[in-house]
Amino acid sequence: MKKITTVALSIALALSAIGCTQSTTPAGNAAEQTSTAQNPAGLSSGITLANMDTSVAPQQDFFRHVNGKWLDSTEIPADKARWGSFDELRENAEKQVLAIVQQLAAEQHAKGSDEQKIADLYQSFLDEQQAEVLGLNPLRDELAAIENVTDHKELTTLWGNWQRYRIGTPVAVYVGQDQKQSDQYITGASQAGLGLPDRDYYLKDDARSKELLQQYQAFIVKLWTLAGFDNAEQAAADIVALEKQIAAAQWSRVQNRDRNATYNKLTLAELSKLAPGFNWQAFLTAAGLGNINELVVRQPTYFTAFAKLQAQTSVEQWQQYLKFHLLRSNANNLNKAFADASFDFYGKTLNGLQEQRSREKRAVSLVDNNLGFMVGKKYVEQYFKPEAKARMDQMIENLRGAFRQSIDELEWMSPVTKKQAQIKLAKFNTKIGYPDKWRDYSCVEINAADLIGNLRRSAECEYQRTIERLGKPVDRSEWGMTPQTVNAYYSSTMNEIVFPAAILQPPFFNVDADDAVNYGAIGGVIGHEFTHGFDDQGRRSDGDGNLRDWWTEQDAAQFQQRAQLMVDQYSSFNPIDDLHLQGALGLGENIADLGGLTVSYKAYQNSLQGKPGEVIDGFTPEQRFFMGWGQVWRIKFRDEALRQQVITGPHSPGMYRVLGTLSNMPQFYDAYDVKPGDGMYRDDKVRVKIW
């Protein structure tokens, strides 16, 4: 998942994406028929009965029990790496946003208006003929800037200038909230600079990893040749060798999860001592940050190694590296030959895609990525249902009450730590649907005949917006996701949970369905976000969003012992080949799944106020609750995409979010009479109970 903002976000769901108002089924699949059998209140069960495989007992494999027929009949669309409930929403939302954009593109608008910017950015990508005519010309000035670098000092300045565009920069700077003083902004600096998704692609020694690295090198040769540069084979070998050195110095994803280890506030003098041989002042000045006195360095040992590597590597080698990354990061926006080469590697090789998305779909994604909140404002006008927000407000407060109750009932936590946890919970802020204040894009100039220029100006505007926050009060109205995103998140520095409009739809949230399935679906997601504030990393921040240890030593040890049981459980899952899930990498998400669903179950039971729930479609309310969770995570992967998910995480594939979570919940055992020997059974000694 890509990093959405510089705010410390803990992304809750599997993928950041665009959302919609209803789900669909790909051509060739059995149509989804949600039950219409009504209870006395006039609400449906919310269970898609046609998806179920009742030949599989729920006690043996609940994921297949709820989703088996869907799994057997569903074909992953040719232009998708995976297909599931998220992807169905994304596909429909993309169509809805596309309709909005195409309508604007067919009309005349005043220059500088929101409508003109959206329409002309869309048109600038859609114009294939101009892309063919222009060829590599849109990059000529930047290629010349690379060629004009004569020494390492000028290289440093170029890297600083290009922070705005994130092109070929092994070090990335940004401005976000200070994790130890959350009412202020501070500059941060992090490792970067690889063309493959993760350092492990360079370092793993198995046959598949070696093959992928060879295919990556062939991709470099392809782009180099298309650009008309000489010595493609040697250049590609040099670039891969250099990236291997960068990768070897980088921290792993597990290391990067540690909020204490990645918080290293240094003065410029201390940074220069930590990483000598690199002109940090010149770099930061070129990045527009020349006046800062301190910054947070996320990976100190990487910075030491990088400073040494950049000095030891010739300017000519860095120029090769920069040229390739300039081509790579712009290939999709150049002519067909470059776009196809990029798709062949990143789409087919890395993700198993069979077909490239249409140019219209790619165009609307580009608009969404660069003018997201501008598009979101129009999305909300057409598709957001106010009644969904009202019902969400009620569910959130019910979940908060249940979490408060759960903390009080914890047997393993001391009263001292419980008091601090309750203070933090009480301070949780919530945002639902869309921002109260829309982002200002007045600094972006869009020209229908200048695609690359549009993207550069957009990047400059966004970069300037973020660095200008330094010295100003923290804007607590800011959102880290657009309303049309099918996702949700918890921000540790804001201590808030956020639910964009697009996720408030079936199967996550069904305003026409009985409460049981909604508590199992969106209730579990709400609880997931609450629990992120108390997972293995979230627990390190207090109610004001500051990184602070508020745990007793004994309670922290108890937490870690219980968390290790979860690491061990998920590390035993083997979804493909010899790849096991990385239990340590997914720990935060898996804790949030279990804690979130446990708290949502309590909230649902509280909502019944001691009265028995209705049996609908032959299912008890408790069973429908768990079926709601099972429906949310239905998904199929292409093998290549599944491998990438396992390597890069941190979210477990959907089937394990169902199997792993429910096998730890005694409430599930009661609802389905799970006994020793059943597939869903885990011995009580290894069953995880945290929140």
Does pLDDT of 30 surpass 70?
no
- Residue 43 confidence class, pLDDT cut points 50, 70, 90: low
pTM beyond 0.85, yes or no: yes
Average pLDDT of the chain, as a whole number: 92
Mean pLDDT throughout 356-377? 96
Tokens 């040719």 correspond to 78
Whole-number pLDDT of residue 512: 81
37 or 105, which is more confident: 105
User: Per-residue pLDDT for 24 more than 80?
Assistant: no
User: What does the pLDDT average to over 494-503?
Assistant: 94
Q: What is the pLDDT of residue 101?
A: 97
**In the prediction, which pLDDT does 467 show?**
97
Q: Give the separation between CA 542 and CA 420, rounded to whole angstroms.
A: 8
Give tens-digit pLDDT for 454-474: 999 999 999 999 999 999 999
Q: What is the mean pLDDT of residues 205-216?
A: 95
Average pLDDT of the segment spanning 173-186: 97
Q: Where are the alpha helices (DSSP H) in 354-488?
A: 359-370, 372-383, 386-409, 415-426, 451-467
Q: How far is the C-alpha of 46 from the C-alpha of 32, rounded, in Å?
A: 12
How many Å apart are CA 305 and CA 82, to the nearest integer?
37
Mean pLDDT lowest for which of 78-87, 323-332, 381-390? 381-390
Q: How confident is the model over 240-278, as pLDDT tens digits?
A: 999 999 999 999 999 999 999 999 999 999 999 999 999
What are the boundaries of each domain within the chain?
136-333, 384-435+479-691
Which CATH class for the 136-333 domain? mainly alpha
Residue 569 above 60 pLDDT?
yes
> CA-to-CA distance for 624 and 603, rounded, in angstroms?
15
What would be the CATH architecture of the domain defined by 384-435+479-691? 3-Layer(aba) Sandwich (3.40)
Specify the pLDDT at position 507.
81
Write out pLDDT tens, residues 500-548: 999 888 888 888 888 999 999 999 999 999 999 999 999 999 999 999 9
What pLDDT does residue 505 have?
A: 83
**What mean pLDDT do residues 192-211 have?**
95
Spell out the residues 6+ positions from residue 381 whose beta carbon is closer than 8 angstroms to its own. none
User: Who has greater pLDDT, 26 or 516?
Assistant: 516
pLDDT of residue 5: 33
Output the pLDDT for position 385. 82
41 band by pLDDT with thresholds 50, 70 and 90 = low
What are the respective helix, strand and coil percentages of the chain, to the nearest 5?
A: 55, 10, 40
Give the per-residue pLDDT at 161. Answer: 97
